[in-house]
């Protein structure tokens, strides 16, 4: 009988970014509208779309072998001790910065320190995280579950909010001031302990994580190749960043070598003028898909 | 100082249908992207977009004077005794049928009666309604809050669900069977008791309700006018539905009158052949915007 | 048992125009993508989408009770003596002009008269019509069925074509010259003889035709109402076209009457200056949906 | 030989609004992409699309008989004494407010009065208007023609600007402060003096203006009809605005009359509750296309 | 005088896929809307868009030198002995699977074997293929040309159909059962015998076929390069598929070599974990455009 | 304090092409709607969107350090002696051909030579260029500034025009004939003399130009690599164009080498058949991003 890995993928705002990451990692993931079971071109993996908020719940109870979700929702479900974290995956729909959950108030609010929250009304999607954070500080406040649009609620519908932010744009647009940072969160690949202990499932998950990391590592990277006179090789290598050992190939003309390396796309424009000055010629930049160091 | 009525409008799936209803009622409501304060061309009304789920909460605590929301969310917030219902507004984004919250299970589930739910796992967005309904029947079950896509959870992630349905399409598509109907819900115009007792606010809300009802009443209605010989008037009137007394105008030709009436658009095609047979001629159908009986 | 009228609607280019005509006639016709059975809000009618080219075939053999199709395809199927024509419906997707099937050749072709076609290669979608037309004139030519893009075939892939045209634009764009007009065609409502003889089906079809005609008659028409002094009524009536007898209502002010009439929208701009000159005032133009004379 | 009226229409931002106005006035105006000669369904009118900025130039030199353009561009071309103004047409793409040309500077500019402009650099599309305005005040400044995006030039690329504004939104968005208002402008229908003196052309233009005014007058207006007991007529009439004398028709029931009137759509919601209180019933609001008082 | 190759390209559903294949093969093919003569950046090729159904007809009669069309339409036109097949090109708009023409009936049809078709009505676009297939089996049936939507005709408008299918989705959606497979078809590059015998045209066509094959071969392939210690090369090579001999380059560090190879994109994820285990490092995957073995 | 290079980018039709060129050169340039200050991922560069027509004006007066604009607008502003040209950049939105400003007249115009322009009316956007050109030839004519749609003005609104053309399509579409070519223009990178003399700014601009040139050079180029037996290397090299010296790498198999080169994409299809014939095998084409010779 075929073994199957039951994998949960986050529905909603991260869905397209996840599919794109899998695609670059070499998996064809496709969503049929209205279906919550995306197809993947690996018959040994069965995917289910689940809201990120609920992922930890279903991995913990073994309904799924593993899944991708945010560290925030793992904590909100109080599941951090019940699931095994196999990898941290830094990617997101807007930026590559981690998500920060902050406690924010209107610019002109009288609330300036954590203690000022005593007796106030706080709206948030992460009620448990917020209540635990308040309890640790001995503060009593009314924490209300917010169904959405949390950032527009102060001051009329709440005194403060706890809300996720990546760039801070939404806070600025709503004229809010950060009082405290509650939690920083990135995407995690989590597994049920029994799945992590099963050799077949573990190998399957490790391979998947290796490929996802390869695709993430290649993002924003390009290949560079150039011809260099042997006498100039040392100078050229000093210009190149130490990230990866360049490949130096012999050419049929014994006075020249070919140098190949992988570098960050956004330093290319700083490097090329210096490489040229150091004696490199015929510099060619080419795209890459994946890199496994 | 200008008095202002603070009106909550439901954000999300009903938003466009609400704006359209207001527009037909004679109010220009416009949404600016990212703003939760729609503009309205009446300086005495201040609108706020709020999720339907939270509307009753904010009308109950007086943050808003009044708002539109579903009866279901009034009950889920246990607010039915704390707010004043000024009108039932029958409209929706998909159909004009009320929303039904049903308890559903997979077609091949062993659950057939309410009692079979004992000890099962039920996923739903309306945790309070469900728990109260189970308690009334002496059933103990695990009710889990569902963040979305509830209808795809059985059987792997839940044994049963309580979910809203208008047409039953989504239940059919997910191969679910209805075990019980929990609640039937329509849109309500609710007010805070103090606002309902304030004469200026009450008049403002009553006028608004009158216009919304006028626009709803005109939906699917058209005007019909025709020339009829006096001797045929009786026959023609018998064909017309009794909905509204037709207007019969004298013409300069004393043998003829003009008959005008308002009827349902979808009976026009049945009426016209019979009106013609009864002696009406020059039958003209024209559109109407609003009707106040 | 419920009786049902099996109605064929033309799929393809006329589909949307047909749905729009039915909608204006008071029927809600809706297409679900990929389904060939449009839903209609009359349980006694069952609709089937059929290519206009095949409609006469299926009405003739009784698979359908009735259908809408072009006169051209009735003739191409040689069905004109086997089906009953209940109405000619003048509407089309591009213009309200009838479709003309013409025999066309390149501007610089040596073919100038019908006789020049002897021995030539003619491409067309209407092979039967073309062959019959040639036979009547004693001309022998090779008629080839064209699967599409007929108008670009001359001179390389055909010497002449027989093709449908409404505005002549496509002929001009392809630099073609008309040698002869083969057939003029409009949309027809056809029925199987047995259906036309069945009283229930006949009544159903007659009512449908009445409503379709009412909607077509209202297209491009508007209502006009105005106040006129009794002494000026004669002058005003002389300005109005004789199309329909205007409705003249008595007003409470005995010196004035109200004149209402229905006229073509595109003469309004010519009439209004003359009506004003004749003494009409408070002239109001309003839209209408349907008119049954 | 057919006479033809050569009419210039403003290309660009006002183009669609103009076509819509003509359409409501009863003329079918259609633009073919890339053609500057829109087709109109009146063979006696020949339309040309011209930039509003150049319209007065070509009407003045007789290349066109008449055209629509802004008062601003008439003045910028110094053509106000050379063309005949037949009508002021108040409509625009954004609002119905006239366009104001204002002299604006950055919020924190040292320029506060007109005199502070001495020796400064001013960017504008209306170089002539600005220079004349400065000369009248004895101010010397460098006026530079701006090809676009004028409002973003201060303070780096200009000290002040003269720019058109309808709502003030763009000024606010660019943090600019108005120092003086230079000119207020609305759309005008202008004619070459010879065309205005030619009886056939004058009649043609007068009819066109009459219809355009009828369409503009109907904008935002609706029809209202209601049944009223004769004893209540006086009360009902007092509620109705004095804009137009209502039409009061006799009904066959001698105790009742039918009252019809045209009113502004945005007062309907204030009137209806009061009309109902005054005894009106069966109040129906219906749309209108055009009104000629 | 310049020689020209007259090439037919299939219009319609394969059009975009064909253009994309040519583009990847290094030819810029562009369609101007309404033109049936796509431009190509090779002055020695003249393209014509032709329906796939008619391609064989026009290549057979020499109107075109060569063209791309399906094997099915070559057979339907009975042209397989009259044209020269230069290549089979496996690509399609939906999948890379060949098209199968199947005889299908409704799930609950009494037709189970080929013999049950005796006397039945069969609708199809491939009348000749179907009639020949029936004749070979001694079956007499009524074969009707279907203008489209063939799969919805049974059981009301036909007893069986012969229809093309790639994935079987449309058959399943219409609840049809396959009784027999009539023909399997892929795209072919066909030429007129005289063109195939002309040295210049033959060379031109052979080069074109070589490039098309190079582009098809590269589809779904990627390049892989990695650094390997000389002692590990044997182990690494055993992991790589035998598809193509890898390129092993000497590096300046004499203990290491660089290994480059081309592999199927969808085995990358299986290979990389094993390559890493075998000692490869700095594994980089990069995209390729074309590969000629 | 951070030094900043103030760079002007052309707004309007070249905007997207410029952003794409910068992106390929390694700079992330992004436009926020309504902002005229595009963000770039280099904190030492500050971008401003300026109409190409005004760029030379603002670089000349030092408001900007440098900018991209057409040679035509440099000349129209009479700035060619006041700014320093650092590079000619050949790219454009439609084609890579330079823009030609031509004097054109209607096909049937009596104007055939430059002298025929005496006393005529010429419409153009480049009034200065046109007047200077006429003065050099001793011709007196009325040159009118055209706000747009210049090519549709003859013959009714102008006798001749001076207008930009890349492909000649617009001239042909408007039935115009070229009488003389006035100016040929390409995009230039210009700098204020003081900026060009400032070492930091000059280095910054030189690096930017180097990268832009690298991206332009890579456009339409691809990489080609192949395995060749040592005995065939000479034959293979003779087939390759002399554009760049190919890189010849030693392979571990001493009888073979690997040949890599960069060539124009549109010659690949001519080269590959000849490379194969010359003994190359395993030919792989891969994409490149940038090339600095």
pLDDT tens figures, E76-106? 999 999 999 999 987 544 345 688 999 999 9
Range scoring the smallest mean pLDDT among A216-220, C59-63, F187-191: A216-220
Tokens of D136: 């009248």
Q: Kindly state the percentage of chain F with pLDDT values over 90.
A: 54
Strand-pair category, B39-40 with B142-145:
unpaired
pLDDT, mean over chain B: 89
Tokens of F192: 């204020």
Strand-pair category, E256-264 with E221-229:
antiparallel
- For residue F23, the chain A residues in CB contact (below 8 A) are none
pLDDT score, position F152: 87
Range scoring the smallest mean pLDDT among A21-35, A158-172, B171-185: A21-35
Residue D17: phi and psi, rounded to 5, are -65, -40
Element (H, E) at B279: none
Cβ contact, residue pair E210, F273, below 8 Å: yes
SS (H, E, C) C43-96: CCEEEEEEEHHHHHHHHHCCCCCEEEEEHHHHHHCCCCCCCEEEEEECCCCCCC
Band of residue F293 on the pLDDT scale cut at 50, 70, 90: low
Q: How far is CA E114 from CA A27, E119, E158, E168, in A?
A: 42, 12, 16, 20
Per-residue pLDDT averaged across E276-283, rounded? Answer: 90
pLDDT score, position D94: 38
Please check the confidence at residue F1 and state whether its pLDDT lies above 70.
no
pLDDT, mean over chain C: 89
Name the residue of chain D whose CA is nearest to C221's CA.
D26
- For residue B45, the chain D residues in CB contact (below 8 A) are none
Per-residue pLDDT averaged across B134-144, rounded? Answer: 96
Band of residue B95 on the pLDDT scale cut at 50, 70, 90: very low
Reported pTM: 0.75
Cβ contact, residue pair D285, B293, below 8 Å: no
pLDDT tens figures, E138-175? 999 999 999 888 998 999 899 999 999 877 888 888 89
pLDDT tens figures, E192-229? 999 999 999 999 999 999 989 888 888 888 889 898 99
F positions 19-48 inside 8 Å of A (CB): 25-28, 41
B3-92+185-216: which CATH number, 3.30.365.10, 2.40.10.10, 3.40.190.10, 3.40.50.300?
A: 3.40.190.10
Residue D131: phi and psi, rounded to 5, are -65, -40
In this prediction, the residues of chain D whose per-residue pLDDT falls under 50 are 92-95
Tell me if there are at least 3 CB pairs under 8 Å linking chains B and F.
no
Q: Kindly state the percentage of chain E with pLDDT values over 70.
A: 95
Q: How far is CA E115 from CA A111, E120, E135, in A?
A: 87, 10, 12
pLDDT score, position A254: 82
C219-285: which CATH number, 3.30.230.10, 3.30.930.10, 3.90.79.10, 3.30.70.120?
A: 3.30.70.120
Residue among E260, E17, B214 at smallest CA distance from D286: B214
One-character DSSP codes across chain A: ----EEEEEEESTTHHHHHHHHHHHT--EEPPTT-SS-EES-TTEEEEEEEHHHHHHHHHTTSSSEEEEEHHHHHHTT-TTTSEEEEEE---SS-SSPEEEEEEEETT-S--SGGGGTT-EEEES-HHHHHHHHHHTT---EEEE--S-GGG-TTTT-SEEEEEESSSHHHHHTTEEEEEEEEEE-EEEEE-HHHHHSHHHHHHHHHHHHHHHHHHHHTTEEEEEEEEEGGGHHHHHHHS-TTSPPEEEEBSSTTEEEEEEEEEGGGHHHHHHHHHHTT-EEEEEEE-SEEE-
E287 interfaces chain F, CB cutoff of 8 Å? yes
Please check the confidence at residue E123 and state whether its pLDDT lies above 70.
yes
pLDDT score, position B16: 83
Q: Kindly state the percentage of chain A with pLDDT values over 90.
A: 55
> What are the sequence ranges of the domains in chain C?
3-92+185-216, 98-183, 219-285
Cβ contact, residue pair B272, C214, below 8 Å: yes
Burial class (CB in 10 A: 0-12, 13-18, 19+), D157: buried
Residue D287 neighbours by CB distance under 10 Å: 15
pLDDT score, position A246: 85
Strand-pair category, F29-30 with B39-40:
unpaired
Residue A60 neighbours by CB distance under 10 Å: 19
Contact F236, F282 (CB under 8 A): no
Same fold, A3-92+185-216 and A98-183: yes
Contact B2, B43 (CB under 8 A): yes
B58 interfaces chain A, CB cutoff of 8 Å? yes
pLDDT, mean over chain F: 89
Band of residue A216 on the pLDDT scale cut at 50, 70, 90: confident
Name the residue of chain F whose CA is nearest to A251's CA.
F249
Tokens of F260: 């890599």
Query: E strands within chain C?
Result: 5-11, 29-30, 39-40, 45-51, 66-70, 84-89, 99-106, 121-124, 142-145, 160-165, 176-185, 187-191, 221-229, 247-250, 256-264, 281-287, 290-292
Cβ contact, residue pair C157, E58, below 8 Å: yes
How far is A8 from chain B, CA to nearest CA, in Å? 12
pLDDT tens figures, B219-276? 888 889 898 999 999 999 999 886 667 888 877 788 888 898 888 887 888 888 899 8
Query: E strands within chain D?
Result: 5-11, 29-30, 39-40, 45-51, 66-70, 84-89, 99-106, 121-124, 142-145, 160-165, 176-185, 187-191, 221-229, 247-250, 256-264, 281-287, 290-292
Please check the confidence at residue A93 and state whether its pLDDT lies above 50.
no
Please check the confidence at residue A293 and state whether its pLDDT lies above 80.
no
Per-residue pLDDT averaged across C18-43, rounded? Answer: 84
Tell me if there are at least 3 CB pairs under 8 Å linking chains A and E.
yes
Band of residue C25 on the pLDDT scale cut at 50, 70, 90: confident
Per-residue pLDDT averaged across F48-57, rounded? Answer: 93
Element (H, E) at F92: none
pLDDT score, position A97: 67
Tokens of C215: 């909607």
Mutate to test the interface with B, among D167, D255, D266, D286 (most CBs of B within 10 A): D286
Per-residue pLDDT averaged across F257-266, rounded? Answer: 87
Tokens of D94: 């954004």
Please check the confidence at residue C192 and state whether its pLDDT lies above 90.
yes
Cβ contact, residue pair A288, E283, below 8 Å: no
Residue F213: phi and psi, rounded to 5, are -65, -40
How far is E98 from chain A, CA to nearest CA, in Å? 20
Tell me if there are at least 3 CB pairs under 8 Å linking chains D and E.
no
Per-residue pLDDT averaged across A284-293, rounded? Answer: 83
Residue F57 neighbours by CB distance under 10 Å: 24
Burial class (CB in 10 A: 0-12, 13-18, 19+), F72: buried
Per-residue pLDDT averaged across C37-48, rounded? Answer: 91
pLDDT score, position C1: 52
Per-residue pLDDT averaged across A113-123, rounded? Answer: 95
Name the residue of chain C whose CA is nearest to D210's CA.
C273
Contact F2, F44 (CB under 8 A): yes
Give CA–CA dist F176/F153, Å, rounded. 11
How far is C28 from chain E, CA to nearest CA, in Å? 23
Band of residue B93 on the pLDDT scale cut at 50, 70, 90: very low
Tokens 């990069």, residue located: E286
Give CA–CA dist A251/A230, Å, rounded. 10
Band of residue A250 on the pLDDT scale cut at 50, 70, 90: confident
pLDDT, mean over chain E: 89
C53 interfaces chain E, CB cutoff of 8 Å? yes
Tokens of E168: 């079987």
Per-residue pLDDT averaged across A135-139, rounded? Answer: 96
Band of residue C95 on the pLDDT scale cut at 50, 70, 90: very low
Tokens of D274: 């009061």
pLDDT score, position F254: 82
Name the residue of chain A whose CA is nearest to B59's CA.
A157
Contact D73, D52 (CB under 8 A): yes
Contact E34, C173 (CB under 8 A): yes
Range scoring the smallest mean pLDDT among B49-58, C85-94, D92-101: D92-101
Tokens 């190939």, residue located: A249
Beta strands across the sheet bearing A221-229: A247-250, A256-264, A221-229, A281-287, F290-292
C236 interfaces chain B, CB cutoff of 8 Å? no
Tokens of B240: 């017309």
Give ipTM to 2 decimals: 0.76
Give CA–CA dist D29/D38, Å, rounded. 7
pLDDT score, position C90: 75
Give CA–CA dist F228/D221, Å, rounded. 83
E172: Cβ contacts below 8 Å, ≥ 6 apart: none
- Find the radius of gyration of the CA atoms of chain A: 25
Q: Which fold has domain F98-183?
A: D-Maltodextrin-Binding Protein; domain 2 (3.40.190)
F51: Cβ contacts below 8 Å, ≥ 6 apart: D147, D148, D149, F10, F11, F12
pLDDT score, position B141: 96
Element (H, E) at F32: none
Instruction: Give me the helix-helix angle, C15-25 and C199-218, nearest 10°.
Output: 100
Residue A200 neighbours by CB distance under 10 Å: 11
Instruction: Please report the sign of the dihedral spanned by the C-alpha atoms of residue A7, residue A10, residue A12, residue A18.
Output: negative
Residue among C43, C174, C58 at smallest CA distance from C106: C174
Q: Which chains touch A (3 or more CB pairs under 8 A)?
A: B, E, F
Contact F259, F247 (CB under 8 A): yes
pLDDT score, position A251: 78
Give CA–CA dist F142/F118, Å, rounded. 9
């Amino acid at each position: 009988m075929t073994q199957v890995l039951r994998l949960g993928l986050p529905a909603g705002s991260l869905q397209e970014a996840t599919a794109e990451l899998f695609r670059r990692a070499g998996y064809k993931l496709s969503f049929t509208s209205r279906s919550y079971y995306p197809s993947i071109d690996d018959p040994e993996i069965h995917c289910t779309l689940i809201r990120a908020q609920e992922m930890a719940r279903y991995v913990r109870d073994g309904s799924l072998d593993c899944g991708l979700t945010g560290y925030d929702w793992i904590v909100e479900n109080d599941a951090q001790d019940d699931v095994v974290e196999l990898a941290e995956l830094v990617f997101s729909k807007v930026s590559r910065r981690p998500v920060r959950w902050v406690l924010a108030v209107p610019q002109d609010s009288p609330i300036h320190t954590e203690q000022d929250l005593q007796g106030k009304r706080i709206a948030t999607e992460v009620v448990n995280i917020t209540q635990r954070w308040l309890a640790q500080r001995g503060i009593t406040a009314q924490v209300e579950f917010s169904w959405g649009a949390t950032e527009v609620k102060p001051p009329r519908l709440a005194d403060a909010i706890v809300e996720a932010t990546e760039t801070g744009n939404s806070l600025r647009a709503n004229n809010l001031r950060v009082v405290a940072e509650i939690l920083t969160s990135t995407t995690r690949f989590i597994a049920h302990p029994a799945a992590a202990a099963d050799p077949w499932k573990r190998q399957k998950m490790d391979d998947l994580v290796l490929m996802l990391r390869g695709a993430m590592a290649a993002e924003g990277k390009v290949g560079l190749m150039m011809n260099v006179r042997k006498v100039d090789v040392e100078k050229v290598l000093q210009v190149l960043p130490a990230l990866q050992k360049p490949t130096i190939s012999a050419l049929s003309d014994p006075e020249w070598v070919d140098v190949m390396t992988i570098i960050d796309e956004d330093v290319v424009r700083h490097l090329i003028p210096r490489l040229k000055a150091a004696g490199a010629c015929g510099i060619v930049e080419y795209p890459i898909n994946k890199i496994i160091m």
